[in-house]
Structure 1
């Protein structure tokens, strides 16, 4: 199987490449390629069709990629939107597309959970403490808030009621 299509997400300094073969299976996944390495990376690829969002930088890159025998397809930004991954699908993150007040409450609740975790020894508290030590305070707070949001959504989706522990 050879690579037929490659999609490149252009950015300022780091690009993402994703290539598929004839049947649509991933043949190349490079989430982070630095600007100075992109041309070298594309030069090593077999001639294929490369798709990029049309922007001022895309035209410059396209001219360089054509020299390597690739076919370039520039896509209008309005047609690229459906292919983007939103913050909800990425989860170490909490999306900013929802209700700002609810998001604030989740973050405040997560801060309280992390503060109280220092005095507890249960599994979730130990996880929160080690996460804060490993990744930092704010990333741990956001991870806890995202975990609480997922649990709340699951309870609402399944129609479960909250039962406080007596």
Structure 2
């Protein structure tokens, strides 16, 4: 058998497809392997480059194969798709493994850093909390809609609903029957249980942010709280993978979408690519920073006030979220603390 130098893997729940090539690019192995024999198959290979899409369980398998001495690379799925034969109309596991193997050979391909078990554990807290928040939102909307069916209309907002729900359900002047009241009260009990679960996750995330040195430095930025700092540290494996803060902001999708051609630049709305959860937290923190900027006198806050007066609230919101992403890159990549009054030194003109 020729020496294998690169292997493309298409991960799945039970059967993995591998596509291995030699130095000349000739196919050496193309086969499906059961999950139970996946690691043992790679254990019999000499160390080589192993590429797989960044998908479910990819970080786990990457850690396992790295322990065997292989150079494991995770590739974003959108970068693999252009190399699949047949394009979007033809797709199967063998073609996906071949496309992954081919994409890994490109000299300028971008890869996803492999997360550690500790980082994935922190993200479990965030994912579970997000799920409970979504369940609570759905439940609140359901309760509000059911009450409206009986002419019981409550003010908008979860706080208003929490304050007035019990009084309106127990009000004997409305058309609610006994069975409907009991059903709504069970929904209320479920609401309280979800609140308790979210509170527990908030405490766990706050504890991580309090004891993590990088998260503590991130929280020095106005508008970056414990939730955002914890998510940033767990999501960004190594900020040094980005050359500058602009690249990290683009990775999070907080830059304009380009449709430029012929030397003419056409910029549209932000791309909204990258991690949706972290980008959402950055926008929520930016909203807080914009609303309170007039209360502070530091250089960054004055810039926010001046920008809002010039371009309006929503464009300022995007600009501040972008600014926060760049600041977080500097904090995480360089290990420095944030100084809101920092002013970059201007370069001296040539011959001055």
Q: TM-score, normalised by structure 2?
A: 0.24
Greater strand share, structure number: 1
Structure with larger RCO (C-alpha < 8 A, sep 6+): 1
Q: TM-score, normalised by structure 1?
A: 0.50
